[in-house]
Amino acid sequence: MQTVEANVRHSLEIGGVSTDKLVEEYGTPLMVYDEGMIRRNARAFRSAFESSELDFQVAYASKAFLCKEMARLANEEALSLDVVSGGELYTALEAGFPAARIHFHGNNKSEEELAMALDAEIGCFVVDNFLELEMLHDLASKRNQEVSILLRVTPGVEAHTHEYIMTGQEDSKFGFGLSNGQAETAIQIAARKPQYKLLGIHSHIGSQMFGTEGFDQAIQILTGFVYQMNKKYGLALPVLNVGGGFGVRYTEDDQPLTISEYVTAISESVKKHYTTHELPYPEVWIEPGRSMVAEAGTTLYKVGSKKIIPDLRTYITVDGGMTDNIRPALYQARYQAMLANRPDEDSTELVSVAGKCCESGDMLIWDLMLPPTNYGDILAVFSTGAYGYSMASNYNRIPRPAVVFADKGESRVVIERETYEDLVRKDQ
């Protein structure tokens, strides 16, 4: 890529395809995934578990990014799939994803969604609350269907980016509290219900975690609970699902561990605590979302208007914004970017990157060094692959961008760009 002739325009490449070519072929804004990177991530999770010699499932948390092609990729890479709604379930089934490897999450699954998942005979329901515990069983009884379930519990450990904290209150909308006895009550109810096959417990303690101490704390608490349920009620609880939340790099300030380091820490922790309690090793399930797809995604925008406020700030505006990436507005998320069409030029201008929506909060990046920008330059914003397109909206009636997979010099559309006709399709 560095050896191009002087008269050949040189641009950033993704999956071996030049961004010039991608923009020419598909337009902007454009979401481009390096497909090979997603596959390498999937393999890294699986191979680290294989070295641990524990039984495992790696369930991709599809809310991070899902379309039919992503579900097919997850299937090809032998992942399981977490869904949290009828819509995600429908997408997975339409893509031919094996129902037996689908896990259904969510704190308010409707009767229709539960019925749909029962019809499909999905592999596991992660039961979140007492209403669901009754409703799912009633539906399963009527069908005389056996259902595998995990119970989602809140271990009282809350993990954040840099540290974890122990919370006494377990103040969360998700799951059954361990310390207040609700998890034990739920276990007793589940164990008595004939259609239920109670596989074990689940917890998800946070997101964008850079350390592993939170996992170790949670696993210690979960193991203690499994031990008690084993002693008191003779329950085996063969599956331990420790959730997702592995950190990724959005900017240089983010220093995540490698996938293999996360998995190794989790498997060591499980072995340690299960050995202490003299329990047989469980099958360990994890649920990476962000860490599977975030860094594989890049958004390409066309630079438009520029507003220079002397001695204050220079705004450059791109042809997308909070409609395709709401994370900066929602979480003050930070991103790195560069000019894809002039990647080697020195960055000498301090700018802030605005979106085109009618909201002052529609900013993508504050204070970014770029080469002097012109109308028509292509801005590549990195690590946009998770919770970007999946949170996209049609605010201001802006059509959602196209999504492309690029790999080994080839690219293909996996989600078509929305059209204006799409925008009025449901209007009466």
Ligand X SMILES: *Cc1c(COP(=O)(O)O)cnc(C)c1O
402/31 Cα distance (integer angstroms): 6
Look-up: residue for tokens 């760009």? 417
Site string for ligand X, 145-184 (x = CB under 6 A): ----------------------------------------
157/274 Cα distance (integer angstroms): 19
Inter-residue contact 154 to 174 (CB < 8 Å): yes
Q: Say how many C-beta atoms besides its own lie within 10 A of residue 375's C-beta.
A: 10
* Sole window of 18-26, 223-231, 282-290, 409-417 interacting with ligand X (rule: CB under 6 A): 282-290
Per CB under 6 A, 291 contacts ligand X = yes
Counting every residue written for the chain, the total comes to 428
User: Site for ligand X (CB under 6 A): which residue of 22, 23, 37, 64?
Assistant: 64
Q: Say how many C-beta atoms besides its own lie within 10 A of residue 83's C-beta.
A: 27
User: Site for ligand X (CB under 6 A): which residue of 34, 35, 287, 319?
Assistant: 287
Taking the complex as a whole, how short is the minimal distance between the CB of residue 105 and ligand X, in angstroms?
5
Q: Say how many C-beta atoms besides its own lie within 10 A of residue 169's C-beta.
A: 10
Q: Which is nearer to ligand X, 26 or 225 (CB)?
A: 225
Q: By beta-carbon distance, which residue lies closest to ligand X?
A: 289
Residues in binding contact with ligand X, number by CB under 6 A: 17
Q: Which is nearer to ligand X, 34 or 319 (CB)?
A: 34
Query: Is 359 annotated to bind ligand?
Result: yes
Taking the complex as a whole, how short is the minimal distance between the CB of residue 155 and ligand X, in angstroms?
13
Q: Which is nearer to ligand X, 244 or 297 (CB)?
A: 244
Q: Which is nearer to ligand X, 209 or 340 (CB)?
A: 209
User: Site for ligand X (CB under 6 A): which residue of 193, 290, 327, 342?
Assistant: 290
Per CB under 6 A, 75 contacts ligand X = no
Inter-residue contact 9 to 391 (CB < 8 Å): no
**Site residues for ligand X, window 185-224 (CB under 6 A)?**
204, 207
* Sole window of 13-21, 47-55, 58-66, 111-119 interacting with ligand X (rule: CB under 6 A): 58-66
* Sole window of 11-19, 61-69, 271-279, 420-428 interacting with ligand X (rule: CB under 6 A): 61-69
Q: Is 358 a catalytic residue?
A: yes
149 contacts: CB under 8 Å, gap ≥ 6: 124, 125, 126, 127, 136, 190, 196, 197, 198, 199
Taking the complex as a whole, how short is the minimal distance between the CB of residue 312 and ligand X, in angstroms?
36
Taking the complex as a whole, how short is the minimal distance between the CB of residue 204 and ligand X, in angstroms?
4
**Site residues for ligand X, window 361-420 (CB under 6 A)?**
386
Query: Is 327 annotated to bind ligand?
Result: yes
Among candidate residues 67, 124, 357, 358, the one labeled active-site is 358
Q: Which is nearer to ligand X, 15 or 243 (CB)?
A: 243
Per CB under 6 A, 297 contacts ligand X = no
Show the tokens assigned to 201.
């417990």
Positions touching ligand X (CB under 6 A) are 61, 63-64, 82, 105, 204, 207, 243-246, 287-291, 386
Indicate which residues carry an active-site annotation: 358
- Return binding residues for pyridoxal 5'-phosphate: 245, 287-290, 387
Binding residues for substrate: 290, 327, 331, 359, 387
